[in-house]
Structure 1
Amino acid sequence: MWQDFGDYILSEAGDDPVKIAEIGVGKFDKISEILSEKKNITVLKTDIHPKDSTVIKDDVTNPNLELYKDVDIIYSIRPPSELQPHLINLAEKINSQLIIKPLTNEDLNTGRVKMKLKNYKKASFYILR
């Protein structure tokens, strides 16, 4: 499933230079590793509690918008429901595509914005273009 999720993001990225941000990386960075293998992709990893020096400290509830300059795609894996509206706000502010991979069977908390359920091979997630 994780490879399928990574493959979907790679298909969205294409072959042109693209900047992708993972919000709330935590300790699971398999997807960012998959994305980093492509030379045209720059991956920005953020978390409020960075696990190491590869992750930039940022709070999505009050994001440093300068960090997300030129980000084309934002994704977040299992973000808590209280953070989901902040992900929407960030994506709208920077005009970025948003992909949320919630816990299985979890309802999204995106308020006024409806995200589209996407099934890609064995992965299910929500997208906002």
Structure 2
Amino acid sequence: MWEDLGEYILTITDKRPLKIAEIGVGKVDLVYQYLKKQDQVDIIKTDIRPADESVIKDDITNPNLDLYKDVDIIYSIRPPSELQPYLVKLKDLTNAKLIIRPLFNEDLNTGPRKMKLKNYKKASFYIL
């Protein structure tokens, strides 16, 4: 499923090089691992509590916008509902595409912004 999400992320734009940011990576970074192996993909991962030195410390409620300069795609896997509006705000500030993979059966908390449900192979997620 995680490789399917990574594969889909690569299909939504032909732009290369491609800059991607994973927000709130936590300790599991399977999509990141898939994407970083791809040619012409520059990817960062951020979290408020970095699990290791490969994660950049950033607070999505008050993001360091320099980290997201020229980002084409932002994605987040299982972000808490209270952080989802901040992901939409960052998407708007960067003009990037946004993908949220919520917990199973969790409703999104993106306010008036409606995200489109997308199924790709074994992956289900929302895109804006």
Gaps of 5+ in 1: none
Distance 1:35 1:23 in 2: 14
Aligned position for 2:89:
89
Judge conservation of contact 1:15–1:40 (CA < 8 Å) in 2.
no
- State how many pairs are aligned: 128
Cα distance in 1, alignment partners of residues 83 and 9 from structure 2: 21
- Per the alignment, residue 9 of structure 1 pairs with 9
Residues 57-96 of structure 1: pairs in structure 2 closer than 5 A: 57-96=57-96
Q: Which amino acid aligns with 2:60?
A: V
Contact 1:76 1:99 survives alignment (8 Å): yes
Amino acid across the alignment from 1:48: I
Residue 44 of structure 1 aligns with an amino acid whose one-letter code is I
Distance 1:13 1:6 in 2: 13
Displacement after TM superposition at 1:3 (Å)? 1.5
Residue identity (%): 66
In structure 2, the residue corresponding to 1:90 is in which secondary structure? helix
Root-mean-square deviation (Å): 0.9
Q: Partners in 2 of 1:52 and 1:13 — Cα distance?
A: 30
Structure 1 position 14, deviation (Å): 3.5
Q: Deviation at 1:64?
A: 0.5
> Match of 2:12, SS?
helix
CA distance in 2, matches of 1:64, 1:83: 15
SS at match of 2:49: coil
User: What letter matches 2:45 in structure 1?
Assistant: K
Name the CA distance, whole Å, in 2 between partners of 1:67 and 1:31: 19
CA distance in 1, matches of 2:36, 2:17: 12
1:49-94 CA-to-partner distances (Å, cap 9, x unmatched) read: 0011110000000001011001000000000000000000000011
Residue segments in structure 2 that go unaligned for 5+ positions in a row? none
Distance 2:101 2:114 in 1: 15
